[in-house]
Structure 1
Amino acid sequence: MAAATCAGYDHSVWSTAPLRNPWVRLSPMATRRCLDITASLMQFSTACYDRSVRFLTPRAGMKMTGWIALVLAAGAACFLLWAAAQHRSRHAGGPRTGGNARIEPGPPPAVPESDAESFEVWGFDDTRFHVNSRGDVEVSGSRYELSGKTLPSLFRWFQKVIDVRLDPTDMRPTKYGQRIPASRAPQALRDALADFLAPDQISDDGEQRLRHGHGHTQEEMYAIKFEAIVRIPDLVVWPADEDQVVRLMQIAAALDACLIPFGGGTNVTDALRCPVDEDRPIISVDTRRMNRVLWIDAENRMACIQAGAVGRHIIEQLAEHGFTMGHEPDSIEFSTLGGWISTHASGMKKNRYGNIEDIVLDFTLVTPGGKLARSSVAPRESVGVDARRFILGSEGSFGIITEAVVRLFPLPEVQEYGSVLFPSFEQGVGFMYDLASTSDVPASVRLVDNLQFQFGAALKPESSRLGKLAGKLQKLWVLKVLGFEVDKMVVCTLVFEGDRQEVRRQEATVYRIAQQHGGFEAGPENGRRGYQLTFSIAYIRDFVMNHWVLAESFETSMPWDRVLDLCERVKARVHDEHRKRDLPGKPFISCRVTQIYPTGVCVYFYMAFYYKGVEAPERVFSEIEKGARAEILAAGGSLSHHHGIGKHREDFLSEIMSPALLEWNRRAKGAVDPDNLFAAANQGLGRKREEA
């Protein structure tokens, strides 16, 4: 595994920071020109000196000597430029020999008070969607593109889609924080933890324990607002390093407590929900104080990062040194590196940088039986069973990931956005299929269906008169001149990254193929807006829940030849399940195609329905979602592309895994963690569930 990797590497360096001298940016052609100029100036200076000695008076000779000195100085300057360029070519342009330069960044950026996260809803505490007195939706805060804006169409459009009139003043009152179970942690356990943890590293505060006892499924969020979560952690701890993690495990084992790792708390699989039949004291282990970039190997393009580092902070620190991991899940503002590994995550720019298994080279896992680690990292190895593959997606069942070595990529020279309108979803999928067979796939390519396209339009802020006129003209052009139909057209948003030549080549390929499928280039602004909306629309789920609407997303992956059929079948199944239960109005069900592969795609579905007057609506929602998941499997889709299993989808495991494979997983859990110290019981792994 890895982290011996991080600790054991040689940190002796030639330089602890990238070269900052502007001269080191000379190209090879500029270097040759400097050499030519230097040689010419030296020849000219020598000739002038000879002439001054032979033919000029002493005074004139002195003047000429001064000019010669200036010329020689200019020649010397050119020589220095050449030397600097040579230094760059030796120390930056190619691999060094005889040294191993490492950068050791400082502490991670301090988290300002303005970045406080909400315990009650998704995201930052300063950002909310709400309805104003005119019945228009407004977005508070200032961090997103929609922040501070009014969205005059959203609330009315959504009512039309679900065929229910929503009264903006009819909001369900929240009961958040009213029913928090008392801590069961005995004093002996508290005292033992206090022996090696500081007071601010241990908490039995009710709201802290509640927040660490759930993720972000709609059932969990419904429970904390309107019902209760009956079993939550008894203590929350924040270890600061690997030694404290080891000590924590020893104490938990000795005092018959159990542990549940916690990263950013953004999962949508019930992975953090505590088993109700767990009688031992439960300790939530929040890893976010283990948040440092330990080193950056600029030459070999690797970094060692502690597992509790949050995505947005990783981006900031690596960018300071000219690098990126390229991993950008929708939850990047809050999720952690350890969480990405534990859930086998994927990011929005996977097409360029890969999924988490492509980016992570090695990692360290602390288990009840000891630390799984290795002494070094190589580009590729064949050294027997690769335990790393078994830990990816293990969802906290085997131990705590403390640090990882990851691949780095130079920051792209160019980042550009784009978008393409297609007459239909079928034509958009055809475009993506042909694009996937080329070598010019952009970093991000996402195709939304017609309903989600309309949703994006409803999220447009209030515009000026001129803006409204421009919008009408654009609509007239698309519908009347191009002949697109308003209830069929779709959009594909694009993010291009790379050097300038590479991006231009990608753009040419994309728009050529798009044209072959009836696509119309819709400009970079729509692409940029579509990508950025990813982060702000995540807040809408909790907003509409207060207005009697339950909503959630789920995802899958499938081969290319199943895409269209699967999407239609899932939508039809949701409508059927909704109709069978005689629920009010109509369901909202839409999809988008995200990550693409040579063999298939990932598809997200978004589902919502009005629940006022419905008994146990969160369970009804879960039943409908399970019906949709069953349809996905029947149509040839996967159980999950990157969200994972947790407890939310474990009932389906027997449909996709053989009995022997399920038994293999159970025995692996028993071998690594025989006393079920890690007791989240995800994927059905753990003593309590096995006995049941």
Structure 2
Amino acid sequence: MADHSGTPRPQGSETRNEASERSGSKYPEVPTGDTRFTPPAPAPSNEVESLEGWGFEDTRFVVKPDGSTVLTGTRYNISNVALPDLMPWFAGKLASPLGYDNRNEPHYPPEIPAARKNDKLVAALREFLAEDQLTDDPKQRLRRGHGHTGGEIWAIRYRKVDRVPDLVVFPRSHDEVVRLVEVATKHGAAIIPFGGGTNVTEALRIPLSEERLVIAVDMRQMNRILWIDTVNRMACIEAGATGRHLMSELAKYGFTMGHEPDSLEFSTLGGWIATNASGMKKNRYGNIEDLVLDMQVITPQGIVERPQQAPRESVGVNPRQYMFGSEGNFGIITTAVVKLFPLPEVQRYGSVIFPDLKTGLSFLYALQKSGAVPASVRVMDNTQFHFGQALKPAKHGLAAKLKSEIEKAVVTKLKGFDPYKLAVATIVFEGSKEEVEFQEKTLYRIAGEHGGMKGGGANGERGYQLTFGIAYIRDLTFEHWAIAESFETSVPWSRAMDLYERVQRRVEKEHAAMGLPGKVFFTGRLTQVYQTGVVIYFYLGFYAKGVADPVAAYAALEHAAREEILAAGGSLSHHHGIGKIRRGFMNDVYSEGALALNRKVKAAIDPDNLFAASNSGVNGPVALTRDEEAH
């Protein structure tokens, strides 16, 4: 029987047991009818996110007078412990004087542009929105006017943002979004959807040519799970649900969506769809386009929605496909129906040390062909390995120090690995006991055939979980005169190592040609694997003290890296998206016919450009100068 009372019906319900008893079979029959239920709404969260940097307000890296670094708070496995080697390591890599006494003091908030006003529009919105669902507070408007590129965070801390939304609205239902779009259309306003604000593509930057009142639609109060179907393993979830809340709520009923991007804690379901996102456990659960069965989208032409969902269909051109990677250009995603997976019976971590990155790549290639790819397997280059070492607390006590020295001796003496060439794989196994045992046995056999050495489960877990803590590092480096950012690509197996090496040589060459201080910071890791290739995720940075325009210099350096990626056979992006940073390269990856098609789709869906994000070049010519990219 269907239960929409709001009371969760657990797996192994009475309906299943009763059906099994009636049939006389030892196996339960498939329940019939509507098997959905509506879970109770979660309690409101009291977690406060930072307005001036990454993450939670109570969490940031701080350099102490003794030179050690501490991550404040208690959220992560490196929180609230002294990290004596981190800043000295960064200083060495950048060949620059990073340290406690060399501080680039932020000046947040910057000067914030005054809001455009439209009293009639606000009055129309107040007819169906509560007082606390609208604000023109300057800091709140500023936060919805930027994402998390290095240039944007540098701007709000050290410069200014020239254009921000004029009004922020917080809808709480699909129907409120429908009415909001109607009001904005009637009163000549523009709309930019806002999810978690975690993008690194300048997707939220408002074009300076936009003269209309701009409404930022913050979706995060639409964060409920509307229904769960444990039989058919689906759920309907509002698009503003952040990854951390979505996963914790689904886990209460024994399920996961399995989508874990680096930004999991703060990015939203709607944002994942709009950027065509990928997660760290893609190997097991799939990318976002594999996980989403259906969605509701409010467009200027009406509501895109379906009466029901099927496992797979051939129904002509499905309008929902336009929404994957749409980047806010076509409408607002309000809900999505997604696939669910039972929480894994077994979850184990592992790690393997290889003599170098090239060997690690060969290992991944053989592993992919074996059919035993675990939920997550990532191979870090030597720089990222040492970065991880620098994030370890000081060793205390004779036993801990002795253990560390023995481990180093085994790797460098017994195995003969060069500590300045070796690479490390961190691994997450998930599934049934049998699946995990098969994956472990196969993976470690292949690793051994490639000269790999087991590094232990503790190191694997630490490496995986560090992903969330180290996201705060970028903001720390800004405060000590370094600017850095990440970018990514996917590339065929046969071109992967060449691409990595070419990008490294190119950024080193450009850094020197530009006369930038110290040495360029460059590192990469091999992340998600496919039958046809692999993803490479890069970090790039440099010491910026004395540089006239650090943001423009970084933009030029990353622009050169992206040129080299394309020349070496890599994709323009794997999961970050296009936004405005990459749209100048669209002519290199699409034919004019393809670009014209996208522009005509935009013109047909949104002829008045109500959704005015202007991402991906759908509004017209896509060529940009470097100065425009570094805006």
Give the TM interval when normalised to the shorter protein: over 0.9
The one-letter amino acid paired with 2:284 is R
Q: Report if the CA contact (8 A) 1:109-1:313 is conserved.
A: no
Q: Report if the CA contact (8 A) 2:235-2:340 is conserved.
A: yes
What is aligned with 1:49?
none
The one-letter amino acid paired with 2:333 is I
Q: Deviations over 1:429-455 (max 9, x none)?
A: 000000001221100000000111111
Flag the 1:256–1:346 CA change in 2: closer, same or farther, 3 A: same
What is aligned with 2:39?
105
- SS of structure 2 residue aligned to 1:294: strand
The one-letter amino acid paired with 1:489 is L
Flag the 1:446–1:502 CA change in 2: closer, same or farther, 3 A: same
| Alignment partners' CA distance in 2, 1:477 and 1:328 | 34
One of 642, 656, 665 as aligned partner of 2:575? 642
1:494 aligns with 2:494: no
What is aligned with 1:354?
286
Q: Deviations over 1:308-344 (max 9, x none)?
A: 1111111011111111000000001001000000000
Flag the 1:659–1:295 CA change in 2: closer, same or farther, 3 A: same
What is aligned with 2:9?
17
Return the TM-score normalized by structure 2: 0.96
What is aligned with 1:596?
529
| Alignment partners' CA distance in 1, 2:110 and 2:36 | 51
| Alignment partners' CA distance in 2, 1:91 and 1:192 | 61
- SS of structure 2 residue aligned to 1:589: strand
Deviation at 1:574, TM superposition (A): 0.5
| Alignment partners' CA distance in 1, 2:146 and 2:69 | 28
What is aligned with 2:543?
610
- SS of structure 2 residue aligned to 1:144: coil
- SS of structure 2 residue aligned to 1:151: coil
Q: Deviations over 1:25-73 (max 9, x none)?
A: 9xxxxxxxxxxxxxxxxxxxxxxxxxxxxxxxxxxxxxxxxxxxxxxxx
1:559 aligns with 2:551: no
Alignment map for 1:316-335 (pairs within 5 Å): 316-335=248-267
Deviation at 1:20, TM superposition (A): 7.4
| Alignment partners' CA distance in 1, 2:27 and 2:549 | 62
Q: Deviations over 1:406-463 (max 9, x none)?
A: 0000000000000000011111100000000122110000000011111111111122
What is aligned with 1:75?
none
Alignment map for 1:281-292 (pairs within 5 Å): 281-292=213-224
| Alignment partners' CA distance in 2, 1:497 and 1:324 | 12
Flag the 1:142–1:215 CA change in 2: closer, same or farther, 3 A: same
What is aligned with 1:410?
342
- The structure with more helix, counted as a fraction of residues: 1
- SS of structure 2 residue aligned to 1:487: coil
- SS of structure 2 residue aligned to 1:641: coil
Deviation at 1:282, TM superposition (A): 0.2
Deviation at 1:173, TM superposition (A): 2.0
| Alignment partners' CA distance in 1, 2:185 and 2:26 | 50
| Alignment partners' CA distance in 1, 2:346 and 2:250 | 17
Deviation at 1:167, TM superposition (A): 3.5
- SS of structure 2 residue aligned to 1:535: helix
The one-letter amino acid paired with 1:18 is P
Q: Report if the CA contact (8 A) 1:16-1:102 is conserved.
A: no
Flag the 1:623–1:92 CA change in 2: closer, same or farther, 3 A: farther
1:391 aligns with 2:383: no
1:451 aligns with 2:383: yes
1:568 aligns with 2:568: no
What is aligned with 1:5?
none
Deviation at 1:85, TM superposition (A): 7.6
Deviation at 1:10, TM superposition (A): 7.5
What is aligned with 2:31?
96
| Alignment partners' CA distance in 2, 1:505 and 1:167 | 47
The one-letter amino acid paired with 2:37 is I
What is aligned with 2:297?
365
- SS of structure 2 residue aligned to 1:419: strand
| Alignment partners' CA distance in 2, 1:486 and 1:529 | 20
| Alignment partners' CA distance in 2, 1:447 and 1:134 | 33
- SS of structure 2 residue aligned to 1:461: coil
% identical aligned pairs: 53
1:470 aligns with 2:403: yes
What is aligned with 2:512?
579
1:657 aligns with 2:590: yes
| Alignment partners' CA distance in 1, 2:615 and 2:113 | 22
Q: Report if the CA contact (8 A) 1:554-1:604 is conserved.
A: yes
Q: Report if the CA contact (8 A) 1:209-1:233 is conserved.
A: yes
| Alignment partners' CA distance in 2, 1:540 and 1:300 | 41
| Alignment partners' CA distance in 2, 1:85 and 1:666 | 55
Flag the 1:267–1:491 CA change in 2: closer, same or farther, 3 A: same
| Alignment partners' CA distance in 2, 1:596 and 1:538 | 22
Return the TM-score normalized by structure 1: 0.87
What is aligned with 1:162?
94
| Alignment partners' CA distance in 1, 2:383 and 2:148 | 24
| Alignment partners' CA distance in 2, 1:496 and 1:445 | 9
| Alignment partners' CA distance in 2, 1:590 and 1:646 | 24
| Alignment partners' CA distance in 1, 2:434 and 2:512 | 53
| Alignment partners' CA distance in 1, 2:4 and 2:90 | 60
Q: Report if the CA contact (8 A) 1:269-1:643 is conserved.
A: yes
1:207 aligns with 2:139: yes
What is aligned with 1:237?
169
- SS of structure 1 residue aligned to 2:616: helix
The one-letter amino acid paired with 1:105 is P
Q: Deviations over 1:58-116 (max 9, x none)?
A: xxxxxxxxxxxxxxxxxxxxxxxx9898489989945223x22222111133212xx20
Q: Report if the CA contact (8 A) 1:675-1:687 is conserved.
A: no
Q: Deviations over 1:264-289 (max 9, x none)?
A: 00000000011111000000000111
Q: Report if the CA contact (8 A) 2:595-2:618 is conserved.
A: no
| Alignment partners' CA distance in 1, 2:512 and 2:418 | 28
The one-letter amino acid paired with 2:585 is F
One of 520, 523, 541 as aligned partner of 2:453? 520
Deviation at 1:255, TM superposition (A): 0.8
Q: Report if the CA contact (8 A) 2:238-2:335 is conserved.
A: yes
Give 1 or 2 for the bigger CA radius of gyration: 1
Q: Report if the CA contact (8 A) 2:20-2:29 is conserved.
A: no
Alignment map for 1:46-445 (pairs within 5 Å): 86=21, 93-97=28-32, 99-112=33-46, 115-445=47-377
Q: Alignment RMSD, CA only?
A: 2.2
- SS of structure 2 residue aligned to 1:594: strand
What is aligned with 1:37?
none
One of 523, 546, 553 as aligned partner of 2:479? 546
What is aligned with 1:669?
602
| Alignment partners' CA distance in 2, 1:553 and 1:89 | 58
Deviation at 1:370, TM superposition (A): 0.3
The one-letter amino acid paired with 1:343 is T
| Alignment partners' CA distance in 1, 2:147 and 2:23 | 48
- SS of structure 2 residue aligned to 1:682: coil
Deviation at 1:178, TM superposition (A): 3.3
| Alignment partners' CA distance in 2, 1:522 and 1:89 | 50
